Amino acid sequence: MDKPGAPFFNFFRKLFDPRKSPPPPAPISQPTVPTPSPPAGTSYQRDNQTLLKQLQEANKYRYFLEEIARRYSFQPAILCAIISRESAWGITLTPPGPAGTGDFHHRVPRGQRQTVLPPDGKGYGRGLMQIDYDWHEFARIGNWQDPKANITYGCETLNNAREFFKKQLPHLQGEQALRAMVAAYNAGATATLTVLQNGEDVDAATTGKDYSKDVLNRASWFRSQGWA
């Protein structure tokens, strides 16, 4: 039998020695990269790809949108956000662009319209601000395809809602008044007044019940991208 220390003895010792070999070193953990926080006032990330595409479209019309906003004393970011919500700055319209239409849901005949869609076969929402065919003559015979004319008309509608609430609910101030005006753009001033008088949320009558909240959320994102 080989003595301890002999080469053959050491070979068998390595095979059958009950002593455990030292454990492998623990893997080095990689530092985690923190998720960037959204800009202040919005839940949308700064690099939101959907909104970045809309921003590219919005910048094409910025020079006259800001001019119209000053005329009506509106924040450009609010107008930008309304158009984002309404038509994704024309991206979601048929065909895409300021001359496109949206809202192809069938409606019961109303007034001179005896068809489930407008007689021209297009959607009820017209242009960037989705002026409604049934409720606005401008959407039937006006130059709604022109982006400047469309945004101007949308601002007139917003301004009418603002003046309406100044008379009907003069106690509304600041963000409350702003949200009432924005909600009325979607649901109508009378419907919005009714929900407010009933003590309901200002968005109770709006599409998705979140219209003004979502518009303000988007507006904060557009501000983070340089819109005032």
Q: Tell whether the model's pLDDT for residue 221 goes beyond 90.
A: yes
Question: CA 80, CA 46: separation in Å to the nearest integer?
Answer: 16
Instruction: Provide the token pair at 133.
Output: 């065919």
What element of type H or E holds 102? strand 101-102
Is 41 or 84 the better-scoring residue by pLDDT?
84
Ranges 7-11, 23-27, 68-72: which has the least confidence = 7-11
Spell out the domains of the chain, with CATH numbers in brackets: 49-224 (1.10.530.10)
Ranges 29-43, 45-59, 104-118, 140-154: which has the least confidence = 29-43
Across all residues in the chain, what is the average pLDDT? 89
pLDDT digits (tens, 9 = 90+) for 204-218: 999 999 999 999 999
What torsion, rounded to 10 degrees, do the Cα atoms 101, 106, 109, 113 define?
A: 20
Question: CA 169, CA 220: separation in Å to the nearest integer?
Answer: 26
Instruction: Provide the token pair at 167.
Output: 């008379």
Q: Hey, CA dihedral for 149, 151, 156, 160, is it positive or negative?
A: positive
Q: How far apart are the first and last CA of the chain?
A: 92
Question: CA 151, CA 179: separation in Å to the nearest integer?
Answer: 19
The pTM is what?
Answer: 0.83
Mean pLDDT (whole number) for 51-59: 98
125-126 and 101-102 strand pairing:
antiparallel
pLDDT digits (tens, 9 = 90+) for 103-135: 999 999 988 889 999 999 999 999 999 999 999
- Letter for the amino acid at 221? W
Q: Tell whether the model's pLDDT for residue 12 goes beyond 50.
A: no
Q: Tell whether the model's pLDDT for residue 34 goes beyond 90.
A: no
Mean pLDDT (whole number) for 79-84: 98
What values do phi and psi take at 188, rounded to 5? 95, 145
What values do phi and psi take at 115, rounded to 5? -115, 165
Q: Per-residue confidence at 20, pLDDT binned at 50, 70, 90?
A: low
Question: CA 54, CA 89: separation in Å to the nearest integer?
Answer: 6
For position 1, what pLDDT does the model report? 46
For position 7, what pLDDT does the model report? 52
Q: Tell whether the model's pLDDT for residue 36 goes beyond 70.
A: no
